[in-house]
Amino acid sequence: MNPPMVPWINPHFAPDNELMSALRKILRSGRVTNNGPMVAAFESAAAKFLGVEEVIAVSNGSDALLLSAYALGGKGRAILPSFTFMATLSAVVHNGLIPVFCDVEPDRWTMSPRHLETLLRKTKDVALIVPVNSFGVPPDLPSILSLASSAGAKVLYDDAHGFGSKISGFARCPGVAVRIISLHATKVLPAVEGGLIICEDRTLAKRIRQLRSHGLAVPLEKSLPGFNARMDELRAAVGLHSLRGFRQTMTRRRRYAQRLRAYIEDHFRGVFINQQIPPEVESNYTNLAIRIPAAEKIGIDAVIAQFQKSGVETRRYFYPALHQFECFRERRPTALPVTERLALSLFCLPLHSLMKEKDLRRIESALRDVRRMVSS
């Protein structure tokens, strides 16, 4: 019998007595939601970790985007990468903004400031720019912020992948109006489902808190139409538990990612291509994405099937790119050559903090099998 596949992802909850007794206590108390003490404790622990004044915990990363784009307001167009997840686009479209797709940088795989500059030159009414963290690597925020400021556009940073990534040693992103993080089970700080909003403007942060809970205010007459984007007490307890173990799980995740990246660099240069991590960036390695240029010819499904045969589960990311969805085909924008190439040749290898030496060896051996296949 074949050994089980190395899974692509494996959320690490490690339910110990502390977590189980917290969950029991919440359920026994009957105080299970509506901004209770566990949410408050989780918010202040996350804020401390990120080095910011406050964070706002919400139901999930997608609601965080939707609510943030709403709170930022603005009418007209929003520029976002096409190389991202549907949720980035939904937040823009459901707020009545017209999406304009930007290409990504060929090595870093995040929003291209060069293309952004071109788009800003020929696009009127850009209200919002939504750069995205790809697999743990943040985009070139200083360049994007400066272009946004010249264009009078606000920046909503989709940092769904980014909890624990650092730029120049810092976990905070100064100058970004609003930033969101996902706590989904497939991300590095799982709360089952959940999200964080970081907004350093106190007035705007207060408005986001109000909108999170139906827009209710004190006195009630001052309420506005809002959302229900609350996090509940149970998931806040899970999030807090994940945060307590975060440094440890991150140390392991980082070690495995760096080992596999070095193996790829040493043995398969030019055949498999690692994501470029700029020197000022410390990645949290949300995903271990690689590009296999040969897949553009032989087809990525054939490559995935070979990995599968070698016992390793992999995923295409992001495919299709947003501008390739049928709902956009008719008014397909200018070609996005880098994005289109990535959609045909990029995917994620398994990476999680529960991997064993034998899993790492299986991945290395699968890489050798795939190299043989693509070179023959």
Q: Tell me 301's DSSP state.
A: H
CA distance 24 to 15: 12
Binding site for ligand PLP (CB under 6 A): 60-62, 84-85, 87-88, 132, 158, 160-161, 182, 184, 195
Q: Tell me 324's DSSP state.
A: G
- The residue type found at 78 is A
- Say if CB 19 and CB 218 are below 8 A apart: no
Cβ proximity to ligand PLP: between 289 and 374 the closer is: 289
Nearest approach, Cβ of 33 to ligand PLP (angstroms)?
18
CA distance 329 to 285: 32
Cβ proximity to ligand PLP: between 88 and 210 the closer is: 88
Nearest approach, Cβ of 65 to ligand PLP (angstroms)?
6
CA distance 348 to 307: 11
Give Cα separations from 188 to 9, 62, 161, 248 (angstroms). Answer: 10, 16, 8, 12
Cβ proximity to ligand PLP: between 116 and 183 the closer is: 183
**Which residue, judged by CB position, is nearest to ligand PLP in the bound state?**
61
Give Cα separations from 203 to 37, 64, 177, 199, 374 (angstroms). Answer: 23, 17, 12, 9, 55
Cβ proximity to ligand PLP: between 159 and 359 the closer is: 159
Cβ proximity to ligand PLP: between 153 and 160 the closer is: 160
Give Cα separations from 15 to 18, 143, 238 (angstroms). Answer: 8, 42, 9
Nearest approach, Cβ of 296 to ligand PLP (angstroms)?
23
Cβ proximity to ligand PLP: between 67 and 260 the closer is: 67
Cβ proximity to ligand PLP: between 140 and 359 the closer is: 140
CA distance 20 to 133: 33
Nearest approach, Cβ of 269 to ligand PLP (angstroms)?
29
Nearest approach, Cβ of 60 to ligand PLP (angstroms)?
4
Nearest approach, Cβ of 184 to ligand PLP (angstroms)?
4
Nearest approach, Cβ of 87 to ligand PLP (angstroms)?
4
Can you tell me whether residue 213 is helix, strand or coil? strand
